[in-house]
Chain A
Amino acid sequence: MTHKTQSVAYPYFVVALLLFGLQVVMGLWLGIQYFVTVPQSVVDVFPFATARAMHTNLLVLWLLLGFMGATYYLVPEETGTDIAWPKVAWAQLVILSLTGVIALVGFFFGWTQGKPLLEIPRPLDVLVVIGALMFLANVGMTMFRARRWTAIQGSLLGGLVFLAVMYLFGMPFYRNLAEDWYYWWWVIHLWVEGAWELIAAAMTAFILIKLTGVERKVVEKWLYVELGLFLFTGIAGTGHHYYWLGAPKYWLWVGGIFSALEPLPIALMVWDTWRDVRHRTTPLRPRLTWVYLVGMVVLHFVGAGLFGMAHTLPQVNYYTHGSQVTVSHGHLAFYGAYVLLNLTFFYLAIPRIKGFRDGEYDERSGHLGFWLTSMGVVGMSLAFGVAGVLQSYLERYLGQPYMVAQDPIRFWMAIVAAHGVLVVAGVVVIVKHLLTLRSVTVQAA
């Protein structure tokens, strides 16, 4: 840590981690409902739909809070100045956390906008927008005052503005359902395969520079190429969501071709990381940060790149669209691309914020947490995948009624839930470890 105001990132990380814990607990409950018969009296009060709204919104909220915290940590080091308004950063955290809590309680009482992943009701959307504006103003002002521009900063700020603008498309009420989904994907797809990838690329480049000591010029040059490929494949690649919603047929061509290229930028990111690691000028320490970084790069490629491409071809997607195959891809992609990214960043930043010497800490339970969670998520995604292929064959291909086809799938959902237990255990270990990080030197003394 080079600037005092960077420490405002820490409370963001704390809130994000607590929400992460809640998210996976809710996820486990969702998994259980697939193979256990929940009595009508419980379903009437707390239906699957409510729990799903909580699970997905908690995910989005904690990832965004993680990104914001990471931004507050990263920007002062990049610009060489303090955060413009540290108090605004605090106020923003309070507003966004409160919005989150009100939304979750509201969901329980049926207060919802009723659109998957964007269930937050419109009055609360206003609070989200206020929080986002405070954030952008603060970050923008810090960069503006410093008058020092790096590619990492540009990618980060571009991604954040892109993210905020896209959110607006999810707010209006659309009369036409097809049009509604068309713009829903401007939020969801252009976030995860556009704006968030810009933020992720910036955070990864920052992490690589800090950890490997590789020359900034090299990292930034490849950052441009990565971003260009991400946006080239990602923007028109939105078309792979437009196959079956009532849009013209040319989307089958556009979506199919552009999304076939989508693994390319991620592959470049993998190669990039590997090259930087080979040319590192500093030792691989602390080891745990490296475990997370490598885990992130590999699972980002497998989950988002390979699992995504496996079912984006229209000929395949006709049978797998809207089945558990999507769920399989979704879980592994989010975990690899964004969950591990945030966790890697937390492991990089927290020891520095706390002022440990050389950023070293007692890393033992962090390894346990990583392996429990990663094995859990990978196993879960494989089980979701089997369930999805079964569903595609039995329901979509043979034409069995939904509930008949669900019967043999229940076994695989039990396997999913079993892995969910691993994930919850792993996340508890990680959250506890990160919130109670101790310096090794202190322990030795």
Chain B
Amino acid sequence: MSEKTAKLIFWIGTLSSLVLFLALTVDTTAQFAALTHADRLDEQVVAGKRAFERRNCNDCHTILGFGGYYAPDLTRAYLRLGEDAIKRRLEHPEVAFADSYRKMPQQNLTPAEVADITAFLKWVANIENHDWPPQDSVARWKRSTERMLAAAALSPGAALVEQENCLTCHSVGGRGESKGPRLEWIAGSRDSAWIAEYLADPQKLAPGSEMPDYAHLSPGQRQMIGEFIAAIAAGRGR
């Protein structure tokens, strides 16, 4: 190979790749607004992003898969945990993670910061990113839960979940709200007995939780709800 050919390879290689990259950047920039739902990106979301950066959250947590790997990914945290659980973790991590072998720093966030960060996470959760991360894939939640629910339709636990209107705060499969954690996610780390005990008095096991108590149900009924939730848990044959 002559030096002239070598130089030609350099220029063709560099420029072709650069032109392709810049052209796609122009197109991507034009598509970001739609893919990220920029119309919902209001001042509170931006304030939340600033607070998220000020507190250096991103060096422990990943978001969109980028950042520190020391703590859970936050991309779909809003859809997984729900608003109440997020706020409790932000306000009192020392309580929320008292039993955990890994802690989150108490940074004494102001109430405004807590609200802003929650709004930010809510906006991020709806970014259309080809259904990543897989563990929070809405398509997968739907498929697995539909199958479970079909089988569990006659289960007393499922009936109780409907009767007590759990889905006005929680979500399961493609239904429900993001006030409380997703039902499939709960028993990933808890068993049915814990859930039954929690239903009797949420404050005892999760101080500060906004979850109402279900003391009016019998212990047997609470156990049935616990067993239903345990049966649809993530990480158990999903």
Contacts and interface: CB of A to CB of B under 8 A. Distances in A.
A233 interface: yes
Interface residues of A, number: 82
A410 B102 CA distance: 11
Given A235-B14, A323-B69, A243 B189 contact: no
B57 A224 contact: no
B111 interface: no
B69 A322 contact: yes
B13 A228 contact: yes
B213 interface: no
A38 B103 contact: yes
Interface string A34-62: 10011110011001111011000000000
A228 B11 CA distance: 7
A34 to B, nearest CB: 7
Contacts of A326: 69
B185 to A, nearest CB: 6
A247 B28 contact: yes
B134 A116 contact: no
A400 B235 CA distance: 4
A231 B104 contact: no
Interface in A163-179: 173, 175-179
A210 B186 CA distance: 63
B55 interface: yes
B9 interface: yes
B66 interface: yes
A338 interface: no
Contacts of B17: 231-236, 258
Contact of A178 (B16, B56, B64): B64
B68 A246 contact: no
A115 B53 contact: yes
B72 A403 contact: yes
B2 to A, nearest CB: 8
A316 B31 CA distance: 25
B59 A119 contact: yes
Interface in B1-20: 1-3, 6-7, 9-14, 16-18, 20
Contacts of A225: 1, 6, 9-10
Contacts of B188: 399-401, 404
A238 B22 CA distance: 11
A442 interface: no
13 contacts: A37-B103, A48-B70, A52-B70, A114-B54, A178-B36, A224-B10, A231-B10, A232-B17, A235-B17, A236-B17, A247-B28, A249-B130, A401-B234
